[in-house]
Amino acid sequence: MKVNTQITKPIDSEGVTRILKRIISENGRDHWRSYAAAIFCLALVAATTAFSAWIMEAVINEAFANRRADLVWMICLSIFAAFVIRGFASYGQAVILSKIGNNIVATYQRRLFSHLMTLSLGYFTESRSAQLSAQISQNINGIRDVLNLTVTSMARDFLTLIALVGVMLFKDPVLTAIVFVVAPPLLLALRYVSKRLRTATKEAVVQNSRVLGAMQETVQGIAIVKAFTMEAELTHKVDGIIRTAENRANRIARLSERTSPLTESFAGLAISSVIAYAAYRSIYGDMLPGAFFSFIAAFLMAYDPAKRLAKLQVQMERATVNARMIYEILDTQSHQREAPEAKPLVVSEAKIEFRDVSFAYGKNPPILRGVNFTAEGGRTTALVGPSGAGKSTIITLVPRFYDPLEGQILIDGQDIAKVTKASLRRHLAYVSQQPYLFEGTIRDNIRYGRPDATDAEVEVAARHAYAHDFILAQPQGYDTPVGENGTTLSGGQRQRLSIARALVRNAPILLLDEATSALDTESEAAVQKALDEAMGGRTVIVIAHRLSTIVKADKIIVMDNGQVAEEGVHEELARRPDGLYARLNSLQATAIRDDITEKENG
């Protein structure tokens, strides 16, 4: 078997076209009616804009040159109607596209969260959570922007430009040809800018996520920052990250805005050429000025959509970089997928067996090497040993947070690699070394152990975890909000709620990773008594840093350097001469005696 790592599919370097096809294929079917309505509104905007330019010839020739008073009112009413239609059409397309965009963002937020829940623990240990959150929040709008840019550019700007160019051709083909002589060099220059912008945008997105990640990380660890007077050092570090992000943003600004002098120079050259030619024809050709003014109106109106279309590739490059980074997450796959023949786990005795299990985190040296032991059903098996011996790793392998490199883990004779992860974890309750509470009330956090638990069952679990009394002392009892990760509660209180959450699950297997490590002596004694009661009839694997808490365990596994060094019960292991457990027990007993003596001496 392979270590549980993720594979990230490389995103095609072809860029805009490939990403655009994927986004349309994923979202087009759900929103095609709304997009059709938006496109219709945008077509009305294009048509009314072209009409405003086209009618200028009648305004100049009939109203001013020929002085046709009978046509003035008709001309004015038609212009008013065109602007009213354009106003309502602009409103309609803006509202429709906003609703579609908001729905797309919400849909991809759900997809991202759902996909992240399918990835294994290895993905999150390899990724900084703060930076991952920042990257998602920055890039999620990229997919919406790609679609909106496509629709608005094609339905509004492109149609408007085509309609206005049609007016220009109808009014004066020669002048139109002059305008397009200088267009190809402009397009080539914009293509060069967009290629350079693609790399700069991706660098900026990554750098900005580092800025937000560093800030979030600092806020979360502010107590440590203050305690160790790390303010100056972190300020210097974050200042360097911000400076780099600022430089990247400035580079993007320089590249993006290079389109302005290019397009403005093009417009100036085209307009001056048109005016020179039109003036010559008017002076020496004795032509009415209406067609010329209509042409100029169409040309000036075409300038804005032409400029937006000229910037389109630059904007699309930026949007697709954001979308591409979201797809990098969505395309991340885990090796730890369900076996094709995976079946639900059936638990009877809840006996757990480790057979020649070896494990390593990524390419690091092995943590476990050929581990063999059995945790008998309905009994308590304790794991002890020095730090780094592999105790917590064993705990994480049972729920399949990771898969072993070699060997098998069996529950009632069933290889857990061949059962569904959902059925496996339904039969487990887990209390981690570091308790974690979620936003919500105390009752909500306990009920996460079993969503269908009644209020009475929640309170029974809290009593067993010796949490009931301090819960009732809270301002709103069980309905008291816990704050971010339980900041309103002490470490011992958070751990007891974590234990209550495990107890309400009522699972046949209980995993305790130093579950009492955050408790004071009095709380530890109370919780230990509750755990002793809760362990009855369950298969328990427990890690304890204080050996006094596991003296009654049915079996003690002593780990050392990733292997099982000793196995037995407390009395037997404590009497072994030169045994690792006996040495650890002696050291802890000496430490306890010294602590008592120090307290007695005041």
pLDDT in tens, 141-180: 777 888 888 888 777 788 888 888 888 888 778 777 766 7
Q: Confidence band (pLDDT; 50, 70, 90) for 220?
A: low
**Same structural domain, 32 and 171:** yes
In a domain, 451, yes or no: no
In a domain, 448, yes or no: no
**Same structural domain, 184 and 81:** yes
pLDDT of residue 225: 75
In a domain, 70, yes or no: yes
pLDDT in tens, 274-303: 777 767 776 776 666 667 777 777 877 877
Q: Confidence band (pLDDT; 50, 70, 90) for 598?
A: low
- Domain boundary among the residues 281, 300, 334 is at 334
pLDDT in tens, 54-112: 887 777 776 666 666 667 778 788 888 988 998 999 899 889 988 888 888 888 888 88
Q: Confidence band (pLDDT; 50, 70, 90) for 12?
A: very low
Per-residue pLDDT at 6 exceeds 50 = no
**Same structural domain, 365 and 226:** no
Comparing 378-387, 560-569, 584-593, the range with the smallest average pLDDT is 584-593
pLDDT in tens, 27-44: 888 888 888 898 899 889
In a domain, 198, yes or no: yes
Count of C-beta atoms within a 10 Å radius of residue 536: 9
Q: Confidence band (pLDDT; 50, 70, 90) for 523?
A: low
User: Where in the sequence is the domain holding 373, given as residue range(s)?
Assistant: 339-427+507-520+536-602
Per-residue pLDDT at 13 exceeds 60 = no
**Same structural domain, 354 and 229:** no
**Same structural domain, 202 and 62:** yes
Number of domains the chain is built from: 2
Q: Confidence band (pLDDT; 50, 70, 90) for 8?
A: very low
CA distances from 398 to 353, 425, 456, 541 (A): 10, 9, 30, 10
Q: Residue ranges of the alpha helices (H) in 465-550? A: 468-472, 491-505, 521-534
CATH number of residue 372's parent domain: 3.40.50.300
Mean pLDDT, rounded, of the chain: 80
Per-residue pLDDT at 457 exceeds 80 = yes
In a domain, 223, yes or no: yes
pLDDT of residue 199: 66
Helix axes 290-330, 183-220, angle to 10 degrees: 40
**Same structural domain, 304 and 361:** no
330: left (phi over 0), alpha (psi -120 to 50) or beta: alpha
**Same structural domain, 317 and 352:** no
**Same structural domain, 307 and 367:** no
CA-to-CA distance for 574 and 582, rounded, in angstroms?
Answer: 4
CATH number of residue 218's parent domain: 1.20.1560.10
Is residue 131 within 8 A of residue 211, CB to CB? The reply is no
β-pairing, 352-359 vs 368-375, is antiparallel
Structure tokens at 453: 């638990």
Per-residue pLDDT at 355 exceeds 80 = yes
pLDDT of residue 4: 41
Helix axes 69-118, 16-54, angle to 10 degrees: 170
Per-residue pLDDT at 310 exceeds 80 = no
Q: Confidence band (pLDDT; 50, 70, 90) for 518?
A: low
pLDDT of residue 11: 40
Per-residue pLDDT at 251 exceeds 60 = yes
* Better-scored residue on pLDDT, 516 or 22: 22
pLDDT in tens, 502-511: 889 889 999 9
**Same structural domain, 295 and 388:** no
* 552 DSSP 8-state letter: T
* 366 DSSP 8-state letter: P
Region 340-359 average pLDDT: 92
pTM equals 0.68
Per-residue pLDDT at 465 exceeds 50 = yes
pLDDT in tens, 256-269: 666 667 667 776 77
In a domain, 386, yes or no: yes
- Domain boundary among the residues 306, 334, 362 is at 334
* Better-scored residue on pLDDT, 401 or 134: 401
- Of 79, 100, 83, nearest to 152 by C-alpha is 100
**Same structural domain, 346 and 197:** no
Is residue 322 within 8 A of residue 139, CB to CB? The reply is yes
pLDDT of residue 51: 85
Is residue 337 within 8 A of residue 494, CB to CB? The reply is no
pLDDT of residue 97: 87
Instruction: Give CA 533 to chain center in angstroms.
Output: 41
**Same structural domain, 319 and 351:** no
In a domain, 531, yes or no: no
**Same structural domain, 378 and 260:** no
In a domain, 299, yes or no: yes
CA-to-CA distance for 370 and 180, rounded, in angstroms?
Answer: 76
pLDDT of residue 1: 37
pLDDT in tens, 468-488: 988 999 989 999 998 777 777
- Domain boundary among the residues 274, 301, 334 is at 334
Identity of the residue numbered 152: T
Per-residue pLDDT at 9 exceeds 50 = no
